[in-house]
Structure 1
């Protein structure tokens, strides 16, 4: 989740207004919500329940309920299972409205002291050392 102070006023407003918040780890998200006095119900949505929970969330959306999708760190849908829910919502004609926030990637680039006018985001590297080395060699 990063620094609990790195959240926008708009994001706090949205989290307080939606009907439910779908999150990777309900415990971590509830910590953030409690810090800001937000009592919106949360449901888990993560890699190991996305195929079961996704249709449940889509039913809520098609019934006119509002759902916020949050991740522990980063942006939902970017190297994250949230992309599946976003894709299904868009396919069903449900509007998807991103609420931008702080980005660790952009923050790191801005403090690196290197030209950051062009960069590539590779996502998560393989966890196995041999595969990771091969992928890094291929990126050179």
Structure 2
């Protein structure tokens, strides 16, 4: 599945997120939620996370950046199965990392999706839109 689009669901009082309806069927068996870069969260279908895990495992342990990436990715990860209403629980440590409260932004990013604090997403977009407009085949 390709994940595309921008959605603005809300977290409930228990820190659960309603998955966008168009994603629910493909994610019914579960997802992996991890820290992402730029202080967002990444939600991976298990098979996509497995590919990322394999790619990570190919990195030498002597590579300091690879070790740091693996530590951040896996130490904050959580495997979650959506409930019957299509909600996934976001652990408190991950909500804190991404500064998530009630309002969130969910963006599709090809083979995964990200969960952002709305202010952080707006700031990121503003900073990146000019660079996006200027992209060239360099």
Please give the TM-score of this superposition, normalised by the length of structure 1. Answer: 0.26
Q: Which structure shows the higher strand fraction? A: 2
Please give the TM-score of this superposition, normalised by the length of structure 2. Answer: 0.26
Task: Mark the structure with the bigger radius of gyration.
Answer: 1
Using CA pairs below 8 Å that are at least 6 residues apart, which structure has the higher relative contact order?
2
Q: Which structure shows the higher helix fraction? A: 1
